[in-house]
Each structure stands twice: as C-alpha cells, then as structure tokens.
Amino acid sequence: MREKFSPEEKKGLESDGAIIYLLTGQTIEEQREARKKIGLPSFNAFVHLQGKKVVNVPSRRTEVAIYPDPERFFVPGSFSQFTIVQDRLAKEDGDALSKRLGLNNITEIIPDEVSTVTELIFQHADGTGEWLLGDSYTRFTPERGYRFKVHARTKNPTEREDWLAEVSTDLSGCCLVVTAWHHYSSRDDLGVFRLVVPV
C-alpha cells in the first residue's frame, strides 16, 4: 500500500464527504500516555486485552479516509456478519466507491491493528469535537426495539485464541473501550466502518 493519497484522490474523496487523516504509528500504550500528559480522555476499559498482541501493536503509518456522517460511516450490511463476510463486504464497497469516484487505486479494509482505529478516533475528536462511535452512531433494530451502542471490528488478534479486538465508546461517549469477539461469530452491534486507504 502507498503511504499517501494522490492530490486527485484527496480532492475526489473530500468532495464526496470524506475526511483524510495521517496516522503516526502509535501503540495504544503510547496513545494513552500522550493523552494523559495533556489531560485528555482516552481509554476507559480493556476487557481481556492487556497482552502485547493489542497494546504494543502500532497503528498504520499511512493516510486513511473515513466518512464521519453516521449514515455513511459503516459498510452497508456489515452488522450481524462473520469476519470473513465483513471482509468481502468491505472490498465490494471499496470497489464500488473506487468506480463511482473514478479513482482506481483506493480500497476499503478492516484494519489489522486496533490502534489504527483508536488513533483515528482520537484525531477526529481532537479536530472536530465529535467522537466516532459516540451517541450519533447508535443503531436500532426491530429485534431489540431500542437504540444501542455499536462496535467497530478489527482483525487484531488477542491473547484469546480466535478472538479479535473491537472498539466502542463508553457510556460517557468520550472514552474508548477495547474488547474482543470471536472472528467466526457475529453480533448485531458489531460492524465494519468505511476505512479507505491508497493502494
């Protein structure tokens, strides 16, 4: 993958409502310490995830694009799906985006690093005052009959075999919670957000 979008790609994505961020290769531990030093909130909880497979993995060092509009943030149909299906849906959505914008060298991925998601959320909060996965991103299904918080899938392995890390916000909406779920199991609150990268 390339490290940055081309000027044409940036223009096309931003005109389409995307925001582009440059990630810096920070681990979760580094993110937590950096925010603590300047008095900003970071992580509320880690559940079963104190191992080095999560906290010591750096985020990507690349530009990424997201669609912060809650109606466009997630890959359509990616909730209530196994990881392998979510992977396919992200690729298909990326192909459709590439074709619609006439940009051949972009795609969408599920990030391998949970730190990529957390750094992205922190950068967005610091720049806009809005927390991705916060209250604006809640979801309603007829089965539940009420709105509930959503979680973002990653492909970051954890110390628990066959479990992958995921990210959500806590009840305050301004701290992150990192948990995990089986890669071969689905939930109606666990989806994939549109993470656009240059290839």
Mean pLDDT in residue range 102-119: 97
pLDDT reading at 48 higher than 60: no
* Greatest mean pLDDT range, 31-45, 89-103, 178-192: 89-103
Structure confidence by residue, pLDDT tens digits, 112-158:
999 999 999 999 999 999 999 999 999 999 889 999 999 999 999 99
CA distance 89 to 110: 10
pLDDT reading at 51 higher than 80: no
Question: Domain residues of the chain, as ranges?
Answer: 7-198
CA distance 99 to 97: 5
Q: Which residue has the tokens 């990326």?
A: 94
pLDDT reading at 13 higher than 80: yes
Structure confidence by residue, pLDDT tens digits, 14-28:
999 999 999 999 999
Region for residue 102 given its phi and psi (left: phi exceeds 0; alpha: psi -120 to 50; beta: otherwise): left
Average pLDDT of the chain is 93
Q: Residue 124 is inside which H or E element, if any?
A: helix 114-128
Mean pLDDT in residue range 56-60: 94
